[in-house]
Amino acid sequence: MKLGTIVFYQRYDDFLTILKNANVKEVSLALDDEIFHKFCGQAKQPILQRLYRSSHSWGFLCGKVNKMDGTVAYKVLNYNNKVNEIKASDVYFALEMDDFTFTHWAEMESEKKIKTSPQGTAIMKKPSNSSIKQSNTVKRMFGMGFKMLYQIVSLREGRPNYPDSNPYNDQWRTYEPFQPTTNPFDHYMKASPYDYSYPNKYHGGQTTFHAVPFFRDNIQPTTFSVVKEMSKTGSELKMFINFPTGIPLSFA
């Protein structure tokens, strides 16, 4: 699973309660949106949004750990924005954000480090809506001086716009964005699938890079895809499609 995947690993009863209240079965979440609507009579994305709002149940995936005993663990950013380690076997469901928006980003010192103040705090700014819309996804990184997951974004040309009305922007006015003369993310930008109409090109000395932190009040997902393969998904899914209301039984 990719960095930033939303992994559900606790409060399974809460997860089932949300599905029960929506009158859907767990296995049906593996259906694509169109087929889900056909068989369940409702859209799937609102249900996934409800699951996302059950914030104590899940965390953002920050890394994989191969244990000495041969098992696998994950580092996750939990609902308190703290990193903890969980067993991979504890993950019972997972979502990938197909698309999301955000409100703030951190300025970068380099491709591997967040810019900080003399007090050691991250330099956070609130870009304008137009700057957010013009930004391009580059890659996701964990760490960068703080135990935080970040989405690196770029602005192809021109400087980002920071409204003066925001206190962060006023406080950190003198801190400039990361604007390298050579591209530190060359491979990732060439491989970017996110902008087909205008390739994610690098303009030396003009392109700026910024790090979007995965704070839950900063990341605002719009659509999701289910990425966790549940046990016996194939056979259970076929059974669900063939008998959506349950297996018919008859007695002699």
Helices (H), the chain: 12-21, 33-40, 45-53, 129-134, 167-171, 186-190, 233-242
pLDDT for position 148: 94
pLDDT for position 186: 83
Q: Confidence class of residue 248 from pLDDT cuts 50, 70 and 90? A: very low
Q: pTM, whole model, 2 decimals? A: 0.85
Task: Give the pLDDT confidence of 23-60 residue by residue, as tens digits.
Answer: 998 888 988 899 899 888 999 999 999 999 999 999 99
Task: Share the mean pLDDT of the chain.
Answer: 86
Lowest mean pLDDT of 165-174, 181-190, 191-200, name the range: 191-200
pLDDT for position 79: 93
| Mean pLDDT for the stretch of residues 221-237 | 69
Q: Where does residue 76 rank: exposed (0-12), middle (13-18), buried (19+ CB within 10 A)?
A: buried
- Residue 99 per-residue DSSP state: E
Structure tokens at 50: 């409800």
Angle (CA) 180-156-160 rounded to 5° is 85
Angle (CA) 212-138-127 rounded to 5° is 40
Tell me the backbone φ, ψ of residue 147, rounded to 5 degrees: -80, 75
In angstroms, the Cα distances linking 17 to 10, 39, 97 are 13, 20, 22
Task: Give the pLDDT confidence of 118-154 residue by residue, as tens digits.
Answer: 999 999 999 999 999 999 899 999 989 889 999 999 9
Task: Give the pLDDT confidence of 89-110 residue by residue, as tens digits.
Answer: 999 999 999 989 999 999 999 9
> Residue 238: how many CA atoms within 13 Å on its side-chain side?
3
pLDDT for position 229: 55
**Residue partners of 66: CB distance under 8 A and separation at least 6:** 72
Structure tokens at 245: 């209301």
pLDDT for position 145: 84
Task: Give the pLDDT confidence of 192-228 residue by residue, as tens digits.
Answer: 554 444 456 677 778 999 999 999 999 999 999 998 6
Say yes or no to pLDDT of 236 above 70: no
So where are the chain's domains?
A: 6-98+222-242, 104-217
Structure tokens at 127: 């870009």
| Mean pLDDT for the stretch of residues 6-12 | 96
**Residue partners of 160: CB distance under 8 A and separation at least 6:** 125, 127, 128, 131, 177, 208, 210
Q: Confidence class of residue 85 from pLDDT cuts 50, 70 and 90? A: very high
